[in-house]
Amino acid sequence: MENTNSINLAAIAKMIDQTNIREMATAGDIERTCHEAREHNFRGVCVNPAWVKLVKKELLGTDIKVICLIDPPIGDSPQIERLGLCLKAKNEGADELDVVMSLIDIKHERWEKILDEFTKIGKILPTKVIIGSGYLTDEEIRKASEIAKTAGAICVKTATSKDPLENRELGEKAQHLKMMKEAAPGLLIKASGNIRTLSDLIKMVDAGADIVGTSSGVEIMEEVKNKLKENSINPSPSI
Q: Is 65 a catalytic residue?
A: no
Alpha carbons within 13 angstroms on the beta-carbon side of residue 116 total: 7
The reply to whether 90 belongs to the active site is no
Sequence-separated contacts (24+) of 162-165 with Cβ below 8 Å:
162/72, 162/73, 163/73, 163/132, 163/133, 163/134, 163/135, 163/193, 164/134, 164/135, 165/133, 165/134, 165/193, 165/194
pLDDT tens, position by position, 107-151: 999 999 999 999 999 999 999 999 999 999 999 999 999 999 999
* Residue of 160, 155, 158 whose CA lies nearest to 125: 155
**Alpha carbons 24 and 139: distance in angstroms, whole number:** 36
Whether 98 is a known active-site residue: answer yes
> Does residue 73 have a cis peptide bond before it, meaning omega lies within 30 degrees of 0?
yes
Catalytic residue among 157, 173, 181, 203: 157
Question: Are the CB atoms for 95 and 65 separated by under 8 Å?
Answer: yes
* pLDDT the model gives residue 128: 98
Q: Which of 173, 190, 200, 203 is catalytic?
A: 190
Active-site position among 17, 71, 98, 105: 98
For residue range 194-221, list pLDDT tens digits in order.
Answer: 899 999 999 999 999 999 999 999 999 9
The pTM assigned to this predicted structure is: 0.92
Judge contact between 129 and 155, C-beta under 8 A. yes
Q: Residue 90: which pLDDT band, with cuts at 50, 70 and 90?
A: very high
**What proportion of the chain, given as a percentage, has pLDDT over 90?**
83
Q: Which domains does the chain have, with CATH numbers?
A: 4-229 (3.20.20.70)
Lowest mean pLDDT among 30-44, 171-185, 219-233: 219-233
